Chains A and B, each alone.
Chain A
Amino acid sequence: MRVVLVCSAGMSTSILVERMKEAAEEQQVYLNVKAVAESDLRDNLHELDVVLIGPQVRYLEKSIKEKVEPTGAKCDVINQQAFGLMQGKQVLEQALNLMASND
């Protein structure tokens, strides 16, 4: 699964990236994840499965969705609690569920 986390500068979500990688290793899930700044998202849309948005930039959800959805990737705001507590496992689960969902 290829995931990109978006926040304002890609700083706080980069902490989450490490946690998600740990969780993926434990569960033996293939995960390619990185954190990017919102302004760099357009250059990172290639072959993605899921885009997760940091809750602090959820006001950008609409404009991010406009960029992401044409590529076929799924997009959602990260659960606030899981983000705050940097729970890699929960966020990984959110990403997996999102990818599995059909709409």
Chain B
Amino acid sequence: MNTYMQQFIEIAGKIGAQRHLTAIRDGFVAVMPLVIIGSLAVLINNFPPLGRFHLAAWLNAIFGEGNWQKVGGNIWEGTFAILGLLVSFTISYHLAKSYNIDRLPAALLSGASYIILVPVTADFGLDMDWLGTQGLFVGIIIALLTTELFRIFLINPKLIIKMPEDVPAGVTNSFKSLIPIMLVLFIVGLCQSLLSILADTNIFEIIFTAIQQPIQGLGDSLPAAILVALLTHVLWFFGLHGTNITGAITEPIYISLVEENLRLFGMGMSAYDVPNIVTKPFLDAFVFMGGAGTTIALLAAVFIVIRTQKNHPYRQVAKLSAPGSMFNINEPVIFGLPIVLNPIMLIPFVLVPVTLTIISYMAMFLGIVPKTVAMLPWTTPPILSGYLVTGGSWRGVALQICNLLIAIIIYIPFLLAALSAAKQQERVEEV
């Protein structure tokens, strides 16, 4: 392997292990259950008729027009709608955990700082607009900065309140984080006052328009989606958890993008008309079917090509991996077949996801398939996921099936090549 590749792997590994990026990723993982529940609430509220069964009409008839939907609406308000605030807690919790300092005080401090900075409405209410994904980037920044400051102050021996020796340890400890918390809150409060008095603005507006919006615009484009698919799979080819490494950077962007779709869908907009094509569920449901590399298609290809030799090693691996693959877990295929560092498999393993990204993007861009309006657990099996993420559309399922067929067709010639290479190897060994 040449040195460029070596360097690439090393850098990728460093990014994947970087403390702050890891904290961001784990922070997002932690809020995922709430995000998914909030999303399902919106999906149920707006579920399309299934043949003669029309859930919405049925519930309307029982509880009165629109009343039952209030439950889902309320759930949304407390989950996805306050994502920015939630991640400011969880990211800070995870960063504190990685430093092995008090987690809960750090998380509370970050949440408190968020509230200090968030704009208020004219009648002194928190502005919900900024508690959600519009405040996501600020939430991340606040979590990282306040936790860093908290840590610096916490480990500074000059800032620890000294107690006489006979004071119990519990009492001393309760004072330990008091001064650091006070200092951080003072700094945050001061910044907020300066911004509002001198500049008549707030940090949320600044970050949103200057950073978040442009990045989201870039993220929701075909080249960006291709780049993400490419990078993730090249990393996996080297045996590194690609999704995990790119996740810290892509999650905040692609979750904000799906939130916008969801919010508009919840207000009654059709899934065809929502603005964003590339989102987290877009990649999860239409590209990462059966895991990275759409390997569920590779398994199908193995079962199609190797029919007679029941004990063929590829078939064994495919059989072993099939149950996990239904839920998009495919490490057995990646390491067992293996795909890792297997030059024949590199091409389809990267080509398939890139092709599927392009096809799915075009299908939504041209309005053939509705866009994604639901967040699901990434372990949701394909077909079901295609139906649900598109807001209950059979066209989503059709796109997944079409993608799977294309993926199988791409995998087959490379699989044949790998098989004949293995056979030649055997012959050489026999001689």
Contact = CB atoms under 8 A, between A and B. Distances in A.
Interface of A: 7-9, 11-12, 15, 37-39, 42, 54-60, 62-63, 80-81, 83-86
B240 A84 contact: no
A56 B240 contact: yes
Contacts of A85: 316-317, 320, 332, 336
A39 B17 CA distance: 11
Interface string B318-358: 00100010000101111111101000000000000000000
Given A12-B324, A39-B22, A84-B317, A56 B12 contact: no
Nearest to B247: A8
B259 interface: no
Task: Provide the main secondary structure of the chain A interface.
Answer: helix
Interface of B: 12-14, 16-17, 22, 26, 29, 94, 97, 100, 236, 239-241, 243-245, 316-317, 320, 324, 329, 331-338, 340, 379
B61 to A, nearest CB: 42
27 contacts: A8-B241, A9-B29, A11-B329, A11-B379, A37-B29, A39-B97, A42-B97, A42-B100, A56-B239, A56-B244, A57-B244, A59-B16, A60-B17, A63-B17, A80-B338, A80-B340, A81-B338, A83-B331, A84-B332, A84-B334, A84-B335, A84-B336, A84-B337, A85-B317, A85-B320, A85-B332, A85-B336
A64 to B, nearest CB: 9
Nearest to A13: B331
B320 A86 contact: yes
Contacts of A54: 331
Given A39-B22, A42-B97, A55-B239, A84 B16 contact: no
Contacts of B333: 84
A46 to B, nearest CB: 15
B195 to A, nearest CB: 34
A56 B16 contact: no
